[in-house]
Structure 1
């Protein structure tokens, strides 16, 4: 950063600060979209006195204060905080993001949107489950696996898994 003044005192002004995900043309054609992910436990002591919606809102605002102004004014992009609970719940902005992602994937892969959404929810559930298990029992040092979604048959995957659409 070269002396820019940001709106919030809690803004992340470190030169090496960066968000988790960046994509060009996600929300607006040609514009970079930045996303930062936060997963929180709604049963934690700091969230006990408030509703789940308020906890999502608080966590989204925390991310917006840290990165939103910087991304808009310095990087000239859009910022979306992706806030999830450990059990798979999503904040309002994460729901919008997942809806847009499902639309883009369904259109690109020529698949029914309902099958893509079911597949995405299944993947998210398993990812959150793996994260929770990793926190509970630690790592087992296995090599990460990648999935080639280019040749994935969404409809067959949904039917084989027994997910209701």
Structure 2
């Protein structure tokens, strides 16, 4: 759960990425996973920890999410709040630390070179959300509810449940391991969020 590398940790990260991408495809254009950023051409970054690799990638991008026609970039981080590096600080401070690390790595480059917006999506292994990821999923729920003509409360309830189940499955995978993981496809096109929430008994 605390180690930063390994196949199970990648699965934990990738499942949240793919679920979020499927939601974005319902409301945005030009959605892609792991898009390559534009290469630097002599630009100087303010922070030493900025990613200056010409093959640098982020987890997600979508056009028109925050601003019309402007490309939005998202980078996901899922951390264990019980890890040794977070002992002695509050949960809010741990979220802020992880958000700032992502912003220093990608924010300035995306804003000035790719001419886009950047949002760090920082979650805990148990489903806790930082301030920026809360704002992101709140905006996503608003747009999905408006486009699908469904109650926002049901869209939010479905979204929270879907993300929680993804994190729970991947956490169990990290703890117990597995010999085989069947590939899964995520398709929510045409999904009736209200009916799904009611049928599953999800609290709104």
* TM-score normalised by structure 2 residue count: 0.78
How far off is 1:138 after superposition?
2.8
Q: Kindly indicate whether residue 57 of structure 2 is the aligned counterpart of residue 18 of structure 1.
A: yes
Write the distance in 2 (CA, Å) between the matches of 1:69 and 1:90: 23
Query: Aligned ranges for residues 1-150 of structure 1 at < 5 Å?
Result: 1-150=40-189
How far off is 1:139 after superposition?
4.1
1:69-119 deviation per Cα after TM superposition (whole angstroms, max 9, x unaligned): 110011000000000011100000000000000001101111100000000
1:44-93 deviation per Cα after TM superposition (whole angstroms, max 9, x unaligned): 11111000000000000000000001100110000000000111000000
Write the distance in 1 (CA, Å) between the matches of 2:172 and 2:56: 28
* TM-score normalised by structure 1 residue count: 0.96
Structure 1, unpaired ranges of 5+: none
1:30-53 deviation per Cα after TM superposition (whole angstroms, max 9, x unaligned): 000000000011111111100000
CA RMSD of aligned residues (A): 1.0
Q: Kindly indicate whether structure 1 or structure 2 has the higher relative contact order, using CA contacts under 8 Å at least 6 residues apart.
A: 2
Give the length in aligned residue pairs.
165
Structure 2, unpaired ranges of 5+: 1-39
